[in-house]
């Protein structure tokens, strides 16, 4: 059941029974994410005020400069998720290795693993542009009572039990799915409460927006170059509009509302593109499919890829169904 103006807390309780393992654990997990998101939101919002922006000087495993807020968001989510009897392991874009959580009784009994990009698009912070958090949740595959292993994290996206993102934009929203459609909640900062503002979100089947870093055009595969030219052609409803924030969460959020396609293709420099399968593409693909859209690497469904390493990357095409299919037809 959904009512507009329902709070996220009410929504979680009322929809708990729709979840296949109705133990209440997943609800508590989503609850802790909503709490961590409030804390990160608070930090992101005051980023312009305090001397907190700029690179820490460390480099993460991807070879990128780490921003202070990346570190802070990472710690906030890890701490919030650790202090509950739910999560047995966390993998984060900011950590080289996964983290094992023993649980309060040290018995490794917890059932869920969380994979996350605690702050995506963080280079946008310095210039006051939207950033996001992306999370992906699985049930462990190894037996409860034993420490988590890499196998628990390297599951194909089609086994996700929940996924979502938080967008720290003009308003802060939490959008998530547990496999029964996608719902969006907007934070009322005065009350610290999220309200159901976007029930049952759906990608329009078609759209007029394409989102890609065209600066890399020269390095794109021929199929992507041809698709971009197709978007720019003067025909029927074309040329399309180009919109690229450079913040995956914001670009996909906009396209889900207005209709569009996001592309981060392979380039001659990075044959697997830039985005990480486990922290960025799988959760966004799950949400996209739950909203009636499609997500592909240009040839195959993102959610069917069997990961082989925690930080692996994949080309990513995601958005309105007909637009993604069009891209795939150009890639053939
Ligand atoms: P990061 O995880 O390092 O913050 O990367 C952001 C991602 C994604 O949000 C965005 O769409 C893309 O990188 C932008 O990359 P380009 O600057 O290469 O276009
Ligand atoms: Mn990222
Ligand atoms: Mn990040």
Most informative mutation of 264, 266, 314 for ligand 1 (most atoms within 8 A of CB): 264
Ligand 1 pocket (Cβ < 6 Å) reads: 64, 117, 120-122, 213, 246-248, 251, 274
274 has binding-site annotation: yes
- C-beta separation of 256 from 263 below 8 A: no
263 has binding-site annotation: yes
> pLDDT tens digit string along 152-200?
999 999 999 999 999 999 999 999 999 999 999 999 999 999 999 999 9
- Burial of residue 41 (CB within 10 Å: 0-12, 13-18, 19+) is buried
Specify the pLDDT at position 236: 92
**Exposure string for 254-278, b = 16+ CB within 10 A, e = fewer:** bbbeebbbbbbbbbeeeeebbbbbb
Look over the chain and give the mean of its residue pLDDT values, rounded to a whole number. Answer: 93
Q: Within a 10 A sphere around the Cβ of 3, how many other Cβ atoms?
A: 11
List the chain residues with pLDDT less than 50. Answer: none
Q: For 100-109, which contacts have Cβ atoms below 8 Å and span 24 or more sequence positions?
A: 100/147, 100/148, 101/148, 102/147, 107/145, 108/144, 108/145, 108/146, 108/147, 108/148, 109/85, 109/144, 109/145
Which helix (DSSP H) or strand (DSSP E) does residue 218 occupy?
Answer: none
Nearest atom, ligand 1, residue 120 CA: 4
Q: What are the structural domain ranges in the chain?
A: 8-198, 209-331
Going from the Cα of 131 to the center of ligand 2, the distance in angstroms, rounded, reads 9
Going from the Cα of 17 to the center of ligand 1, the distance in angstroms, rounded, reads 37
Distance CA 237, CA 228 (A): 15
213 has binding-site annotation: yes
Q: Which CATH number fits domain 8-198: 3.40.50.720, 3.30.1330.20, 3.30.540.10, 3.20.20.120?
A: 3.30.540.10
Strand duo 260-264 + 316-319: pairing = antiparallel
> pLDDT tens digit string along 209-247?
999 999 999 999 999 999 999 999 999 999 999 999 999
- C-beta separation of 158 from 290 below 8 A: no
Most informative mutation of 71, 247, 254 for ligand 1 (most atoms within 8 A of CB): 247
**Residue 325: strand, helix, or coil:** helix
Give domain 209-331's CATH architecture: 3-Layer(aba) Sandwich (3.40)
User: What pTM did the predictor assign?
Assistant: 0.94
- Write out the two tokens for 41: 């939101």
For residue 62, the ligand closest to its alpha carbon is: 1
Distance CA 148, CA 145 (A): 9
């Amino acid at each position: 059941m959904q009512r507009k103006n329902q709070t996220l807390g009410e929504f979680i309780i009322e929809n708990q029974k729709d979840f296949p393992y109705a133990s209440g654990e997943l609800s508590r997990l989503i609850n802790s994410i909503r709490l961590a998101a409030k804390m990160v939101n608070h930090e992101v919002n005051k980023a312009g005020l305090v001397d907190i922006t700029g690179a820490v000087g460390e480099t993460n495993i991807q070879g990128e400069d780490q921003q202070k807020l990346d570190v802070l968001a990472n710690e906030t989510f890890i701490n919030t998720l650790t202090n509950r009897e739910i999560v047995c392991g966390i993998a984060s874009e900011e950590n080289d290795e996964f983290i094992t959580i023993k649980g309060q009784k040290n018995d490794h009994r917890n059932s869920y693993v969380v994979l996350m990009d605690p702050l995506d698009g963080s280079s946008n912070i310095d210039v006051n542009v939207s950033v996001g958090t992306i999370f992906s949740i699985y049930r462990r595959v190894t037996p409860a009572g034993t420490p988590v292993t890499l196998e628990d994290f390297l599951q194909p996206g089609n086994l996700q039990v929940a996924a979502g993102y938080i967008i720290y934009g003009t308003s802060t929203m939490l959008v998530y799915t547990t496999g029964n459609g996608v719902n969006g909640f907007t934070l009322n900062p005065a009350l610290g409460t999220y309200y159901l503002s976007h029930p049952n979100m759906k990608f329009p089947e078609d759209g007029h927006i394409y989102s890609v870093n065209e600066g890399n055009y020269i390095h794109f595969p021929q199929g992507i170059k041809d698709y971009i030219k197709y978007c720019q052609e003067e025909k029927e409803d074309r040329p399309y509009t180009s919109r690229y924030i450079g913040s995956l969460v914001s670009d996909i959020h906009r396209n889900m509302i207005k209709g569009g396609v996001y592309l981060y293709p392979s380039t001659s420099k990075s044959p697997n593109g830039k985005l990480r399968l486990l922290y960025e593409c799988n959760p966004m693909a799950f949400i996209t499919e739950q909203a009636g859209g499609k997500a592909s690497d240009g040839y195959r469904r993102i959610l069917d890829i069997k990961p082989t390493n925690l930080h692996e990357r994949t080309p990513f095409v995601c958005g309105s169904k007909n637009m993604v299919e069009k891209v795939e037809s150009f890639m053939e």
